[in-house]
Amino acid sequence: MNFSAFPKKIKIVEVGPRDGLQNEKSVIETKDKATLINMLEDCGHQSIEVTSFVRPDRMPQMADARELFPLVKGLSEKGVALTCLVPNLKGLEVAKELGVKEIAVFTASSDTFNKKNINATISQSFDRIEPVIKDALASGIKVRGYVSTAFGCPYEGYIDPASVTEVAKRLTELGCYEISLGDTVGTGSPLSVQTTLDLVLKEVPKENVALHFHDTRGMAVTNILMGLSYGITTFDASTGGLGGCPYALGATGNVATEDLVYLCETLGIETGIDLMKLSLASEFILGILKKKTTSKFLQAYINSEKNLYIPKPL
Ligand code: HMG
Ligand code: MG
CA distance 56 to 216: 26
Q: Using the atom order of ligand 1, give the atom closest to the CA of residue 148.
A: 57
Q: Is 106 in the pocket of ligand 1 (CB under 6 A)?
A: yes
Average pLDDT over residues 22-35: 96
Res 311: pLDDT: 86
- pLDDT over 90 at 227, yes or no: yes
- pLDDT over 80 at 282, yes or no: yes
Indicate the pLDDT class of residue 212, thresholds 50, 70 and 90: very high
Backbone angles phi and psi of 300, in degrees to 5: -65, -40
Q: In three state form, how does the secondary structure of the chain look? A: CCHHHCCCECEEEECHHHHHHHCCCCCCCHHHHHHHHHHHHHCCCCEEEEEECCCCCCCHHHCCHHHHHHHHHHHHHHCCEEEEECCCHHHHHHHHHHCCCEEEEEEECCHHHHHHHHCCCHHHHHHHHHHHHHHHHHCCCEEEEEEECCCCECCCECCCHHHHHHHHHHHHHHCCCEEEEEECCCCCCHHHHHHHHHHHHHHCCHHHEEEEEECCCCCHHHHHHHHHHCCCCEEEEEHHHCCCCCCCCCCCCECEHHHHHHHHHHHCCECCCCHHHHHHHHHHHHHHHCCCCCCHHHHHHHHCCCCCCCCCCC
The pLDDT tens digits for 233-247 are 999 999 999 999 999
Indicate the pLDDT class of residue 183, thresholds 50, 70 and 90: very high
Q: Whose CA is nearest to atom 9 of ligand 1?
A: 55
- Average per-residue pLDDT for the chain: 97
* 207 touches 218 (CB < 8 A): no
- pLDDT over 80 at 314, yes or no: no
CATH superfamily of 3-303: Aldolase class I (3.20.20.70)
Would you call 245 a catalytic residue per the annotation? yes
Q: Which of 153, 176, 245, 264 is catalytic?
A: 245
Write down the domain spans for the chain. 3-303
Average pLDDT over residues 49-65: 98
Average pLDDT over residues 155-169: 98
Residue 57 Cα to ligand 1 middle (Å): 9
Packing angle between helix 30-42 and helix 65-72, nearest 10 degrees? 40
- pLDDT over 80 at 127, yes or no: yes
Q: Whose CA is nearest to atom 28 of ligand 1?
A: 55
Res 305: pLDDT: 85
Average pLDDT over residues 26-37: 97
* 132 touches 139 (CB < 8 A): no
* 155 touches 249 (CB < 8 A): yes
**Which ligand is nearest to the Cα of residue 245, counting in written order?**
1
Residues of 237-275 as b/e, b for ≥16 C-beta within 10 angstroms? bbbbbbbbbbbbeebbbbbbbbbbbbbbbebebebebeb
Q: Using the atom order of ligand 1, give the atom closest to the CA of residue 183.
A: 57
Res 259: pLDDT: 98
Percent of the chain scored above 70 by pLDDT? 100
- pLDDT over 80 at 144, yes or no: yes
The residue with greater pLDDT, 309 or 235, is 235
Q: Whose CA is nearest to atom 37 of ligand 1?
A: 118
